[in-house]
Amino acid sequence: MSHIIGSADFDSLVLKAERPVLVDFFATWCGPCKRLAPVIDELSGELEGKVDVYKLDIDQSPDVAARYKVNSVPTIIVFEGGEIKAKTVGAVPKQQLLQML
């Protein structure tokens, strides 16, 4: 199961992580985000111990969304070593998310 994080813990959990991190920038009112949620949860379970998977509500953490220029949701960003490794927008298939990693 993926965990919801916010502005307060973003830097420590994502930017300072020792392994790759996939962040699902979402909104509670977003239909495609709701369709993507089970895929994100599935990935979280499959990749446990290899990749950290988090969700970030853009309405609760607009500062982080602005910092990474998240203008549409869902936006998926993969971070590695505190840097953006890959980014995609929209409810993409699981295989595409795996390729980003």
Beta strands 52-57; 3-5: pairing state: parallel
Q: Give the catalytic positions in this structure.
A: 30, 33
Structure token digits, residue 66? 């602005």
Give helix then strand counts, H and E, for the chain: 4, 5
Contact 52, 13 (CB under 8 A): yes
What is the Cα–Cα distance from 73 to 64, expressed in whole angstroms?
Answer: 13
